[in-house]
């Protein structure tokens, strides 16, 4: 076994020491079979803009780390049995996607991968190179998880694992170590692996039709993207957002592969107010206080304004009469998209009672987008013109 730096047994022991039960290895190579999938994604402009632009870095780990020999993929489960994915019943409460309710997974996985690196270096008994990749690297995480045998891609585009369904975060550790098993079974990506059968619940349940075909997501229609993209929410997506404040779990909640797949979480105790946050509080807390509440999660990277915007839309969708006074103050907010969305929300809640105040806001509004959202107050039958 001396042509390996790390044997299969050593790898398994190191993984077990870290509590990792989903670990796979694959020799680092260009994923040629991913190229047409990736090209089509960008060519058809289905990309969200959050991923790296198309380049060789997305296809070949050697472009990221010239000496790389092995890609080690890990999957960490994050959905616990005690959690409920149902929508809150009170009108004041929004919903945050399960993945963002706890400690930011980037932090947790990077920490695990760095401890993994240290253990593997000890096994190899030589200095080694490591590059931990979690989400933000150019690598297509799901492609490596699949190639390393951790699961199969479902029609939702999600990687589905046997043990935990789709509720896993993915990480890839690139290393110049030669690890036993990397060259074993995984040749081409098992695209053909039939994990969904005739089931297409995710496609039919997606509130915006973002899953335009099996395995084909239009990221710009995905509500997860809509909750993260700055600006005025396009009209066609507002009602579909419901009370989502961050992320969307619909394609996962309906997936039969997620039944009874809850797992003990390595991500710390749930932060209850974050699961179903108080929407009015989101609008009344200071920026600093709001960031203090969400800053440790994966839902904070776009800043506090986007939380406020989503809370405004959610209150509009909830027809929350008690939100009217706060929404009226947002008609004069410094950010045009918040003024705009407040005008929209007030129209949903009680246009008659709020017409005058929105019309006054319209009269002094300078932003074109916000003016459009306020125009309904002018166009009313009793408007003076």
Q: How far is CA 160 from CA 146, 163, 185, 197, in A?
A: 9, 9, 19, 13
Binder among 11, 23, 219, 326 for ligand B12 (CB under 6 A): 219
Q: Which two tokens stand for residue 59?
A: 């296809």
Query: How many alpha carbons lie under 13 Å from residue 54 in its C-beta half-sphere?
Result: 14
Report 277-316 residues binding ligand B12 (CB under 6 A). Answer: none
Count of CB atoms situated within 10 Å of the CB of 159: 23
Judged by CB, which is closer to ligand B12: 251, or 312? 251
Q: How far is CA 254 from CA 75, 82, 163, 244, 259, in A?
A: 21, 18, 17, 17, 9
Binding status of residue 99 toward ligand B12 by CB under 6 A:
yes
Residue span binding ligand B12 (CB under 6 A) among the ranges 16-24, 166-174, 177-185, 280-288: 166-174
Minimum CB separation of residue 106 from ligand B12 in Å reads 8
Judged by CB, which is closer to ligand B12: 159, or 370? 159
User: How many residues sit close enough to ligand B12 to count as binding (CB under 6 A)?
Assistant: 38
Residue that the structure tokens 């890839």 belong to = 172
Minimum CB separation of residue 121 from ligand B12 in Å reads 23
Binder among 27, 101, 146, 297 for ligand B12 (CB under 6 A): 146
The DSSP secondary structure of 359-385, one letter per residue, reads HHHHHH---HHHHHHHGGGTSSTT---
Residue span binding ligand B12 (CB under 6 A) among the ranges 16-24, 158-166, 267-275, 307-315: 158-166
Distance CA 133, CA 126 (A): 22
Helix, strand, or coil (residue 172): strand
Minimum CB separation of residue 90 from ligand B12 in Å reads 22
Minimum CB separation of residue 311 from ligand B12 in Å reads 17
Residue that the structure tokens 């809370």 belong to = 311
Minimum CB separation of residue 94 from ligand B12 in Å reads 14
Selected catalytic residue, list 111, 135, 183, 200: 135
Burial of 267 from C-beta contacts in 10 A (0-12 / 13-18 / 19+): buried
Binding status of residue 225 toward ligand B12 by CB under 6 A:
yes
Going by C-alpha positions, the residue among 252, 241, 243, 246 that lies closest to residue 205 is 252
Judged by CB, which is closer to ligand B12: 224, or 320? 224
Judged by CB, which is closer to ligand B12: 206, or 279? 206
Please confirm, yes or no, whether 21 is among the known catalytic residues: no
Minimum CB separation of residue 159 from ligand B12 in Å reads 4
Residue that the structure tokens 């932090």 belong to = 107
Q: How far is CA 253 from CA 54, 77, 239, 246, 256, in A?
A: 31, 15, 19, 15, 8
Judged by CB, which is closer to ligand B12: 203, or 326? 203
Residue span binding ligand B12 (CB under 6 A) among the ranges 86-94, 217-225, 321-329, 364-372: 217-225
Binding status of residue 156 toward ligand B12 by CB under 6 A:
yes
Report 22-51 residues binding ligand B12 (CB under 6 A). Answer: 34, 37-38, 41, 48, 50-51
Distance CA 125, CA 129 (A): 13
Site residues (vs ligand B12, CB under 6 A): 34, 37-38, 41, 48, 50-51, 97, 99, 134-135, 139-143, 146, 153, 156-159, 166, 168-170, 191, 215, 217, 219, 222, 224-225, 228, 247-249, 251
- Mind telling me the catalytic residues? 135
């Amino acid at each position: 076994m001396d042509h390996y730096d790390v044997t299969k047994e050593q790898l398994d022991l190191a993984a077990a020491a870290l509590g990792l039960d989903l670990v796979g290895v694959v020799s680092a190579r260009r994923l040629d079979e991913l190229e047409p999938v990736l090209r089509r994604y960008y060519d058809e402009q289905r990309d969200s803009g959050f991923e790296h632009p198309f380049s060789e870095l997305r296809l070949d780990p050697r472009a990221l780390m010239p000496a790389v020999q092995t890609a080690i993929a890990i999957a960490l489960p994050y959905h616990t049995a005690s959690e409920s994915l149902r929508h809150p019943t009170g009108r004041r409460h929004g919903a945050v996607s399960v993945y963002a309710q706890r400690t930011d997974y980037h932090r947790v996985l990077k920490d695990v991968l760095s401890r993994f690196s240290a253990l593997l270096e000890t096994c190899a008994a030589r200095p080694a190179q490591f590059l931990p990749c979690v989400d933000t690297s150019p690598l297509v995480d799901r492609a490596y998880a699949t190639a390393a045998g951790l699961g199969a891609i479902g029609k939702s585009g999600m990687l589905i694992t046997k043990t935990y369904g789709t509720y896993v975060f993915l990480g890839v550790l690139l290393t110049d170590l030669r690890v036993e098993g990397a060259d074993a079974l995984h040749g081409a990506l098992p695209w053909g692996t039939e994990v969904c059968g005739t089931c297409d619940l995710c496609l039919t349940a997606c509130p915006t039709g973002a899953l335009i075909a099996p395995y084909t997501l239009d990221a710009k229609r995905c509500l997860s993207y809509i909750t993260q993209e700055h600006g005025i929410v396009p009209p066609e997506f507002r009602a579909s957002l419901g009370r989502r404040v961050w992320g969307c779990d619909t394609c996962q909640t309906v997936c039969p592969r997620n039944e009874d797949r809850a797992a003990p979480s390595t991500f710390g105790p749930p932060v209850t107010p974050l699961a179903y946050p108080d929407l009015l509080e989101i609008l009344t807390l200071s920026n600093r206080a709001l960031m203090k509440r969400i800053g440790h999660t994966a839902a904070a990277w776009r800043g506090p304004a986007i939380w406020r915007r989503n809370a405004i839309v959610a209150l509009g969708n909830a027809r929350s009469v008690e939100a009217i006074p706060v929404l009226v103050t947002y008609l004069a907010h410094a950010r045009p998209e918040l003024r705009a969305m407040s005008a929209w929300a007030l129209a949903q809640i009680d246009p008659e009672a709020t017409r005058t105040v929105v019309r006054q806001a319209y009269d002094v509004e300078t932003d074109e987008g916000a003016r459009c959202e306020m125009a309904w107050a002018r166009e009313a039958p009793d408007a003076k013109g």
